[in-house]
Structure 1
Amino acid sequence: MAKSTAERQAEYRARRDTAAHGDGERRLNTWMSTAAHLALKRIAKRYGLTQRGMLEQLVLAEDEKIVAGLDIETPEWDRYFRIGTVRR
């Protein structure tokens, strides 16, 4: 029996967790202001990137800047890297 569209989509999304050489990918689904969206489109076009690629570059560049200013042996380092972790 053929799979439904929903079944194929669920399998595709499950595979994304192990995409990118095993590092996986995370799904981001959000709304943003029209001004931010238009700016993202302009910036991405200027650099010849997709909106996803541009957003990833912007986020990673800011993260690198923050990490460069932190000392690994400080509570600030620990606090920064605790952000976004799942507590159980």
Structure 2
Amino acid sequence: MAQTTAQRQAAYRARRATAGKDGNGERRLDMWVSSEVDLALARLARRYAVTKRQMLERLIVRADDAIVRRLDPDSEQWDLYFKASP
């Protein structure tokens, strides 16, 4: 029996969610941002010759790394930071 478009899309999203070396996959973000943010992201991506997704990932990972480097792994701040809900 053939799958509906919705069923194929659901299966595709499920595969993406568990793909990868660690089985952790990817997560989908669905949000609205201001025109200013979208235009700035496009400029940054063009400047560094990457996609907007790659640029956003770089910015987020670098910001997160900067915070984590300043935290003591045995501190309450570390625990609070890593208990942020997804």
Match of residue 80 from structure 1: 81
Equivalent-residue separation in structure 2 for 1:84 and 1:55 (angstroms)? 20
Once the two structures are superposed, the pairs formed by residues 1-88 of structure 1 within 5 Å of their partners are 1-21=1-21, 22-84=23-85
Alignment gaps of 5+ in structure 2: none
Q: State how many pairs are aligned.
A: 85
Instruction: Name the CA distance, whole Å, in 2 between partners of 1:16 and 1:34.
Output: 28
In the TM superposition, residue 84 of structure 1 has moved relative to its aligned partner by: 1.6
Query: What do the CA deviations read for 1:12-45 (whole angstroms, capped 9, x no partner)?
Result: 0010111222221000000000000000011011
Which amino acid in structure 1 is aligned with residue 64 of structure 2? D
RMSD over equivalenced CA pairs, Å: 1.0
Structure 1 residue identity aligned to 2:38: H
- Matched to 2:67, the amino acid is I
* Inter-partner Cα distance in structure 2 for 1:13 and 1:55: 21
TM-score, normalized by length of structure 2? 0.93
* 3-state SS of 1:83 partner: coil
Cα distance in 2, alignment partners of residues 51 and 28 from structure 1:
13
Local SS of the residue matching 2:31: coil
TM-score normalised according to structure 1 size: 0.91
* Aligned mates of 1:47, 1:40 — CA distance in 2: 11
Give unpaired runs (5+ residues) of structure 1. Answer: none
